[in-house]
Amino acid sequence: MAHLLGHRGCMESLRADLRDLQAAISDVSSRAGTGAVRFRSWKFPNRVSCDLDMGELLERYHYTDSDPEFTQHSHVVLLELVIDR
């Protein structure tokens, strides 16, 4: 699996999954009538998970050909955001 860390296709799929997951969370939260559940973020403990701007995070952590180390770091952050959701 280590050879897939930072792989463009894996990251694109993961990013799409995060967008879908965030949309599902927003949909459920709006239908429940109770609003978002306010718990500390696992990835960013100084923030509330529901207040994270997923669009901004997806823009910040992305694939890049020119910096494989950053790409691998981004891949790990995206995986951690799945846990955070």
11: confidence class by pLDDT, cuts 50, 70, 90: very high
Token pair 């995986």 in the structure block, residue: 79
| DSSP per-residue codes, 1-66 | -GGGTT-HHHHHHHHHHHHHHHHHHHHHHHHHSS-----B-SSSTTSBGGG--HHHHHHHS---TT
Domain boundaries, the chain: 2-84
Condensed to tens digits (0 to 9), the pLDDT of residues 24-63 reads 888 888 876 767 778 888 888 999 988 889 999 999 999 9
Please give the structure tokens belonging to residue 7: 């792989």
Rounded to 5 degrees, φ, ψ at 27 are -65, -50
Write down the pTM of the prediction.
0.82
